[in-house]
Structure 1
Amino acid sequence: MVPSPQEVKDALRERLLGHLTHLDPAYQALLQEYPSRGGKMLRGLLVVYAGLAHGATLEASLWAGTALELFQNWVLIHDDIEDGSEERRGKPTLHRLYPMPLALNAGDALHGEMWGLLIRGLNEGLFGPEVLAEFHQVVRRTAYGQHMDLLWTLSGRLDLTPEDYFRMVAHKAAYYTAVAPLRLGALLAGREPPALYEEAGLKLGVAFQIMDDVLNLEGDKAYGKERAGDLYEGKRTLILIRYLEEAPKEDRIRAEALLSLPREAKPEAEVRWLWERLLASGAVAWAKEEAKRLAQGGLGALIPYLDTLPGREAASHLQNLLTALVERRA
């Protein structure tokens, strides 16, 4: 019997928090802060159902899914510090609640716990070394994508194209969001992941990130992050890139002047002006169409293959999650 998504989420959360216990209660609270906020555990769910769909055991799938959720949490701590973000999952970011060095150290601790969990799973025979190798790919690709994203902001680059954005997001977000869960599902069952998983998964992961950028402008409080935070942080989103390509000269000059300022120096009125300009332009609708195109291409290629996997019920859950991923319903 394949567990329901809620049962899987509960199991992932229990394992995640249970792996972060410590004799020092204050330190434990720091480590558990982001995981205890809930979140959708989307990537963990994808790993579990991908594993079951390929014929892996539930225990191995939950183990790897928990490790990917640990990855997600330590990366978010570091990402929030690097971006100067204000909110995460509807609450202040960790470095706003605690001194920044303590938050940074907590991220390092979760990173270490991720590898510790994987080494235990390897030693207990739940999976082979190829699973650890896949996690290495997750870390290195995400780090490179983050490097590109930060470098663009720090260097003030505004001559970017949509293709630049797609390349950055493929590394920073798409690989660990969609490609790695699919590949891990196959690896957990001792199978070689098909090239299709990277080709289609990147399309789904990029579509997911585009819609995340859209929600940053349009989303309500349920979105869980600071509304228009991407503008304060100077993020070079697909929407912003498209807008700057098509904006009247005087509006582009004004927008670029705002984007050249550090977060703390950006006037709220100017941020609101740019926010309203983006929403009124065709850039948001264009970005949504790009996300739709990528999602349809990814799902269209992937679903026929998933239908051939041995775990039919789990494969059905996996397909539903991947569809919800790009529609932002997961």
Structure 2
Amino acid sequence: MRPQLQEMALSLLPSPEESASRPELRHFYQMLRDYPERGGKGLRSELLLLSARAHGLQEGGPGWERALWLAAALELFQNWVLIHDDIVDDSDERRGKPALHKLHGVSLALNAGDALHAYMWAAVHRAGLDAGMDEFLNMIHRTAEGQHLDVSWVEHGEWDLQPQDYLEMVRLKTGYYTIVTPLRLGALAADQTPHPDFGAAGLSLGAAFQIRDDVLNLTGDPAKYGKEIGGDLLEGKRTLVALHWLGAASETRRQTFLEQMRLARTEKDLAVIAELLDWLRESDSLTYAHEVATQEAERGLTLLRGALNTAPDQAAAGELLGLMDTLIRRDA
């Protein structure tokens, strides 16, 4: 993430040293700043700023601060959603450090996430763009729908799912806030009407992005990935790799897998989980997932190139397409 965006986001948050007389509130303010201070790659905010430039907004020129505040709001959205997501999944780590609820307990972490949600709206307000409010509302609604599908399947033990079910879920959960909304917000920051193909392009690219992330959760380098390898298995996530593997697995292996998935994370047998991880890594399901990700990526990039074909700043549009290509083909 750009240091300037991190500073802008943090400027909205109370300072533990200056803003509280009670030690409990100083602790609260420290919690609010924890995930934002951990940083992150800032992929979504960078995509927003590149979109703004592609649509004619010059960096540092009139209107640029509006784009920066929208980008800072997007980073705050990412942080409060991650706090809640880590609680739901009972994740151990986030960005190489213990998850917030592991450090302070679920109740305090949940409250911190709720508060960051409010500060996100403060950043949107600073941007002074009415259409930005609508975009953030739509993004939150769609992301929550995708999260509901994801969590509902886990809560109800649902494994009778098809690849299309998975793709519908990730397009909602990942596609909007990772690709569609940043593209649209960048155009709006530049006082331009977002291209109608940003929707379809972003949903395909978001699916490709999430499939790559699922694969990295099985095969990635922990030092680069920033989350625990195999965490999706521990959390019982319905991934494209797992669904495809189940469809071809022997009955014995299938039952072993499902028996572990019925257990809570803390009850799972880590030795068996390690064996499941090996089974998935050795299967052709990883190849299948790569193929689907490639198809989604190519479709999305084709639509996005067409949408940006008449953008005012073609150099910035080229940078945006390059970043998008890197995101969906990343190996870390």
- Give me the whole-angstrom Cα distance separating, in 2, the residues matched to 1:317 and 1:110: 31
- Give me the whole-angstrom Cα distance separating, in 1, the residues matched to 2:320 and 2:12: 26
Task: Tell me the equivalent position of 2:7.
Answer: 14
- TM (normalized to structure 2)? 0.93
Conserved? CA contact 1:142–1:176, under 8 Å: yes
- Give me the whole-angstrom Cα distance separating, in 2, the residues matched to 1:14 and 1:93: 22
Conserved? CA contact 2:201–2:304, under 8 Å: yes
- What pairs with 1:110-259 in structure 2 (closer than 5 Å)? 110-122=116-128, 127=129, 129-221=130-222, 222-259=224-261
- Give me the whole-angstrom Cα distance separating, in 1, the residues matched to 2:145 and 2:211: 19
Which letter maps to 2:215?
V
Shift of 1:313: 3.1
- What pairs with 1:6-155 in structure 2 (closer than 5 Å)? 9-22=2-15, 23-24=19-20, 25-56=26-57, 57-122=63-128, 127=129, 129-155=130-156
Conserved? CA contact 2:220–2:331, under 8 Å: no
Q: CA RMSD in A?
A: 1.4
Which letter maps to 1:134?
E
- Give me the whole-angstrom Cα distance separating, in 1, the residues matched to 2:313 and 2:78: 26
Which letter maps to 1:60?
R
Shift of 1:292: 1.0
1:304 aligns with 2:306: yes
- Give me the whole-angstrom Cα distance separating, in 1, the residues matched to 2:11 and 2:122: 13
- Give me the whole-angstrom Cα distance separating, in 2, the residues matched to 1:82 and 1:298: 30
Q: 5+ unaligned residues in a row in structure 1: which ranges?
A: 1-7
Which letter maps to 2:28?
Y
Which letter maps to 1:69?
E
Cα offsets for 1:228-278 (capped at 9, x unmatched): 000000000010000001111111111111111111110001101111110
Task: Tell me the equivalent position of 1:3.
Answer: none
Shift of 1:329: 6.4
Q: 1:9 to 1:36 in 2, by over 3 A?
A: same
- Give me the whole-angstrom Cα distance separating, in 2, the residues matched to 1:136 and 1:237: 27
- Give me the whole-angstrom Cα distance separating, in 1, the residues matched to 2:37 and 2:190: 30
Conserved? CA contact 2:66–2:126, under 8 Å: no
Percent identity over the alignment?
Answer: 47
Which letter maps to 1:104?
L
Which letter maps to 1:242?
H
Per mean C-alpha deviation after superposition, the further-off stretch among 48-57 and 68-77 is 48-57
Counting matched residue pairs gives: 318
